[in-house]
Amino acid sequence: MDIFGHNGKILRVDLSRRTIEEEQVPEILYRRYLGGGALSLYYLLKELKPKVDPLGPENLLIFAASAVTGTPALGFSRYTVAAKSPLTGGFGEAEAGGWWGPELKFAGFDAILIKGKAEKPVYLWIKDGKAELRDASHLWGQLAAETHAMIRKELGDDRIRIALIGPGGEKLVRFACISNELKHFNGRVGLGAVMGSKNLKAIAVRGEKKMPLFAPERARSVVKEVLETYKKNPGTMGELGTARAVMPLNAGGILPTRNFVSGSFEKAEAICGETMRDTILVNRGTCYACPIRCKREVKVDDPYKVDPLYGGPEYETIAALGSLCGIGDLKAIAMGNQICGAYGIDTISTGTTIAFAMECFGKGILTTKDTGGIKLEFGNAEAMLQMVEKIGKREGFGNLLAEGAKIAAEKIGKGAENYALHVKGQPLPMHEPRGKTGLGLAYALSPTGADHIEAPHDPMFASEAGLKSILPLGIIEPLSALDLSSRKVRLFSYLQHFYNMFNSIGLCIFTAVPFGPMPCNALVDYVNAATGWETSLWELMKVGERQSSMARIFNLREGFTEEDDHLPNRFFQSLEGGALEGKKIDPSEFKQAVKAYYQMMGWDERGIPLESKLAELELDWLKSERI
């Protein structure tokens, strides 16, 4: 079984019954679903009944690495957490890098399936092929860093990797996250709340097993070549992290500002990657086997205490807690990032939800009466920080925002819905669809709601030079970032297959093309060297395509319709200020693009996968699940 480079074992945990079982997974399942998102969907579709309460014991919480995770190559550090999302009510999935995924494999397991609810708080401890549930009553209520330290201490091993939730997850904040090593986040769709609903505080893993490789020399030679390419042209990802995006996006008029009213922020420079490097950055972190070191570690002493323990803000966080809230104070953003990390809440949804409230406040829909006295105005950093903490604690007005912008807006009423910018209940990440139409499609069509890594973004493919890295996908001609023709739909759908495959195989987007140094064909070579599968980009892209149709069916079962494949109205209105001032998306053109996507995917005009398309994707077993 080990010929294909993984253990082939999953762990099934029933928290209600306190049972733990091992199960061997047939190799064919790995080949068809790889791991991550697609493998999680396989189990969710097989084992989760539709319409269950996402925060009830029936929900199935899955941690899934891939057949290749933890093999010694840059990028294969990521793992998926999946469940029915309490934020969207549909397929919930988020990946994280770091060290936890590889360590799970070293400990002998590829995935963990968790159902039920523990009577009292517990954590799961997996070591070298053995697993046990341990009491976590003393950890309940602890912040992330404290929890992390206490578990390591009580298990007596500093090399244990821990995925955990903070008080936000315990209190069922609908966008609570899960973190590992305090700095790597399964950020979105509220999976921390699912974990909290099960009374599961953490999963600690430790193992000594090394991943076998089918053709070790070949694998090493592929990695060596990629690393040499990287060394020759390292780019700025290591130096500036994802925050390198702030200045170019602002210059392009697509840095989300003041709840997406504008794409241009007058204080962009104060919060950009270069400023971070020159001021608060103290170290660069990384993930398993990766030389890029894109993660930030920042330290602030005054006026806030920010500890490098929680890493530092990514671009998404900087924009969400910064420009989106009109805040140009990097230290405040770093502090907000730390609070989110400590309480275990998603920085993107936190920032977006606060920005939504700020716009409502500015419009008079909310007043200090509602907010408990907080002047929730754009640009008010203190107000932002107070709200972040209140959300993490579900305290006061934070208790309402902890429901997410969509539910909060419904409860507020008075037209607040117009300012809650979400798709399928998931608040928008920090990319402006009016300046990147493919991203707009990604937001509308991602099964997890607005998601910024559903596919790489349009501007990368607006020039021949930009296209070069994805030539193997058969995309040959450049396309304007503003194009919304069927050619853009094709580009998006191919890229979505591609990134779905990354998701399922647990590969970081910053290591492989178009962002990173690993070419498509080297990726295929590496997977073959690791597994012995003799796979191809054709087969791997088909895994990606398969994943979309599986997720679609998950959402159809939950009652989603084509009406949910939309963008908030704001994006059909003009951008204010900046390089793209006045730019808006044409709604009928957008609708047509969504319909074109359905056709390209082999779905009917309502977005329901056709029976024979399912068969083509080896998803015959989902035929009867389509409604």
Which residue ranges make up the site for its own copies (CB under 8 A)? Answer: 28, 31-32, 471-474, 476-477, 485-487, 489-490, 493, 519-521, 524, 528, 533-539, 541-542, 595-600, 602, 610-613, 615-616, 618, 620
440 vs 609, which CB is nearer to its own copies?
609
Which residue type is seen at 491? L
> Residue 195 in contact with residue 232, Cβ under 8 Å?
no
Q: How far is the CB of 615 from its own copies (least distance, A)?
A: 3
Q: How far is the CB of 513 from its own copies (least distance, A)?
A: 10
- In DSSP notation, 470-507 reads GGGGT--S---TT--SHHHHHHHHHHHHHHHHHHHHT-
Q: Residue 441 carries which DSSP code?
A: H
Residues 6+ apart with CB under 8 A from 408: 353, 356, 357, 400, 401, 416, 420
32 vs 406, which CB is nearer to its own copies?
32
CA-wise closest residue to 168 among 378, 394, 371: 394
Give CB contacts under 8 A, 24+ apart, made by 29-32.
Answer: 30/4, 30/6, 30/66, 30/67, 30/110, 31/4, 31/67, 31/533, 31/535, 32/543, 32/546, 32/618
Q: How far is the CB of 498 from its own copies (least distance, A)?
A: 9
301 vs 477, which CB is nearer to its own copies?
477
Q: How far is the CB of 598 from its own copies (least distance, A)?
A: 8
286 vs 521, which CB is nearer to its own copies?
521
315 vs 597, which CB is nearer to its own copies?
597
CA-wise closest residue to 202 among 114, 94, 313: 114
34 vs 409, which CB is nearer to its own copies?
34
Alpha carbon separation from 23 to 44, 59, 156, 192, 405 (Å, rounded):
16, 20, 28, 25, 40
403 vs 483, which CB is nearer to its own copies?
483
Please state, as a whole number, how many other Cβ atoms lie within 10 Å of the Cβ of residue 542.
Answer: 18
Q: How far is the CB of 490 from its own copies (least distance, A)?
A: 5
CA-wise closest residue to 198 among 296, 121, 278: 121
> Residue 61 in contact with residue 116, Cβ under 8 Å?
no
Alpha carbon separation from 93 to 54, 86, 476 (Å, rounded):
13, 11, 31
Is the link from the previous residue into 72 a cis peptide, with omega within 30 of 0? no
CA count, 13 A, side-chain hemisphere, 75: 24
Q: Residue 73 carries which DSSP code?
A: S
> Residue 471 in contact with residue 5, Cβ under 8 Å?
no
For residues 218 and 116, what is the distance between their CA atoms, to the nearest angstrom? 44
CA-wise closest residue to 122 among 146, 147, 101: 147
Q: How far is the CB of 529 from its own copies (least distance, A)?
A: 12
534 vs 563, which CB is nearer to its own copies?
534
Q: How far is the CB of 592 from its own copies (least distance, A)?
A: 9
CA count, 13 A, side-chain hemisphere, 552: 27
Q: How far is the CB of 193 from its own copies (least distance, A)?
A: 36
For 35, phi then psi, to 5°, come to: 150, -155
316 vs 545, which CB is nearer to its own copies?
545
Q: How far is the CB of 607 from its own copies (least distance, A)?
A: 13
Q: Which two tokens stand for residue 157?
A: 């091993």
111 vs 524, which CB is nearer to its own copies?
524
Instruction: Give residue for tokens 């950890």.
Output: 139
411 vs 468, which CB is nearer to its own copies?
468
Q: How far is the CB of 613 from its own copies (least distance, A)?
A: 6
CA-wise closest residue to 280 among 249, 257, 311: 311
Q: How far is the CB of 599 from its own copies (least distance, A)?
A: 4
Q: How far is the CB of 539 from its own copies (least distance, A)?
A: 4
Q: How far is the CB of 537 from its own copies (least distance, A)?
A: 4
303 vs 474, which CB is nearer to its own copies?
474
209 vs 487, which CB is nearer to its own copies?
487
H or E stretch covering 155: helix 144-155
> Residue 227 in contact with residue 234, Cβ under 8 Å?
no
